Amino acid sequence: MNQKPKVPSSDPELAFNELMQTVAASTQQLMIDFLAHQPEAFKREIDQYMFSNEFLKGMSEIRLDPVTAIEANVNFWKDTFDLWGRALNDELGVPGKEVVTPEKDDYRFRSKSWTEDRIFDFIKQSYLLVARYIMTSVESVEGLDEKKKTQIDFFIQQYIDGMAPTNFILTNPDVLRRTIESDGQNLLKGFQNILSDLERGEGQLKTRMVDADAFELGKNVAVTPGKIIYQNELIQLIQYEPTTSKVNRTPLLIVPPWINKYYILDLQPKNSLIGWLVAQGHTVFVISWINPDSNLAEKGFDDYLLEGPLAALDTIETITGSSETNAIGYCLGGTLLSATLAYLSAIGESDRVASATFLATMIDFANPGDLGVFIDHEQVTNLETRMNQDGYLDGSDMATTFNMLRANDLIWSFVVNSYLMGDKPPAFDLLYWNSDSTRMPAKMHSQYLRKMYLENSFKEPGGMTVAGIPLDVSSIKNPAFFLGTVDDHIAPWKSTFGGASLFKGSTKFVLSGSGHIAGVVNPPAANKYGYWSSRERPKGDPDSWHQKATLKEGSWWPHWQRWITKYVGSKVVPRKPGRKKNFPALEAAPGSYAARRFD
């Protein structure tokens, strides 16, 4: 950086404004240099949000609450003097307590060297003190609306994360130790990794998160046996092979999000929700969305509903002979499922769905969580301009957005491991799925962003229409099970709780430990995280519900299974996929739609 943040002066507001302007200017130059070597998708995301006129204008308009500013300055200098005093005592052999410690979920400083080595312990605590001071001060700004304040908070945090001592050779003890022990071979390997990633990205640096060669769809991920028994332009419908002597009469349809591929629910046999559901006696069908190209640019929300869940329900009814189907929607798939229920209610066919389960699903988008940082009228308009050129949003664009929400885990850790430590990317099934991103048709993505995130009109009666029919989610009377996850940064659990309160029918809410993926994909054998449950209907204050709910150990899966038992019907002979004359097996699961990539 060309400039260093100035030491706060006696005028707290002036000092903080100077600091923020310096941070903004330093960040801009730093990121310009950094972006010169990054993929176009990453450049567009940063340039669009961080260096937009609106963002820099917001930086110049910052005003501080005087009391908070003074308190932040006093605490910062007190802690700084305490840190220096501790460092001097360490030199004299009188150890003391740390002045500041990393958060429990901050794994950057987990190496013992950050605590046992006095120099690196001082570097770590100095960084954490400055980071805390900046963020405490930013959180107290006045004169900005909440949306802009949240955006500034987010991008200042990106700057702070990028400047962590863990990200640089001379201030990372583990990198220094590896360099000494290997005679610099780690840096040579890191440079080779850079060259490899540049070659893979055809001149653009695309940092590998995973050893993609270690996985193959249908071989060691997405291995639950099944067949593609139906397809149209948007979906392939998978029917899975039964594994029990009898199955439930009422079949089960899973609607995954179209932003990612369905096999997050079928990574490995040990953590496959799909495989577990089959083992419970469900006849399981799963929608596998197409990875679209420009030919599907005009596919909109109507098409995704009619050619997705509705087409699947028609097919399932013909194959199984059951007039009812249980349904599960995950994330955006749950949002689409709620729209499907509202549509069926409007046309008098709500009884086609015996029950509906919503996993980490938002229906009320008033508080969309961290993703809201990337969504306002200016940003959506810019995004639409880009999408209209290609006819779709490229999967790498969305992947970059999600990775920025957890930059330390999903960006900087891979930079350090690959380019500084010289390690090969890990063979990790979840990261393989995460890197297998999908495109989204321009029309669909635009409609979704505007109707849900910008306008939050989906929850309002008539706020959206399908095939000319107004939707009203408050008309839904189907029995419903909602799962929120306590650490969800994509679908915050309090927002999922608010959506659950909109339905008229019997509704149950369960709160799982962990986050958007681990809280959902939590097999019983792992015995992890736990969940909160209550007999009370979800309504009113979510915190009040949480306080009254009972914490139970283990996975929520068996709890859900007990809930859905009353909606599965009697036991019948297992249905083998591909046996119906009109719906022969087209190919083996996971199918060609899931395998389609645009790397």
Distance CA 93, CA 476 (A): 69
For the CA atoms of 352, 358, 363, 369, the dihedral, rounded to the nearest 10 degrees, stands at: -170
Of residues 414, 417, 408, the one with CA closest to residue 435: 414
In CATH, what number does 226-374+439-595 get?
3.40.50.1820
Rounded distance, CA 144 to CA 160, Å? Answer: 21
DSSP state of 508: E
Residue 216: name the closest of 268, 275, 274, 291 by CA: 268
Question: Which residues neighbour 380 within 8 Å (Cβ) at sequence distance 6 or greater?
Answer: 446, 449, 450, 453, 454
pLDDT value at 8 more than 60: no
In whole angstroms, give the CA distance from residue 314 to residue 430.
32
Q: What pLDDT does residue 34 have?
A: 43
Percent helix, strand, coil in the chain, to 5, is 50, 10, 40
Nearest 5 degrees, angle CA 285-CA 290-CA 294? 160
pLDDT of residue 515: 94
pLDDT in tens, 238-283: 999 999 999 999 999 999 999 889 999 999 999 999 999 999 999 9
Mean of pLDDT values over 430-448:
92
List, for residues 347-380, the tens digit of each pLDDT value: 999 999 999 999 999 999 998 888 888 888 888 8
Which residue among the candidates 134, 160, 327, 331 is catalytic per the annotation?
331
Residue spans of the domains in the chain: they are 12-179, 182-214+395-435, 226-374+439-595
pLDDT in the model for residue 92: 66
- pLDDT on residue 378: 84
User: Among residues 279, 228, 287, which one has the least CA distance to residue 258?
Assistant: 287
pLDDT of 217-249, one tens digit each?
Answer: 999 999 999 999 999 999 999 999 999 999 999
How buried is residue 4: exposed, middle or buried, by Cβ count under 10 Å (0-12/13-18/19+)?
Answer: exposed
pLDDT at 65: 61
Q: Is the distance from CB of 160 to CB of 137 less than 8 angstroms?
A: no
Above pLDDT 90, what percent of the chain? Answer: 60
331 labelled catalytic = yes
For the entire predicted model, the pTM comes to 0.84
152 compared with 140, residue with greater pLDDT: 152
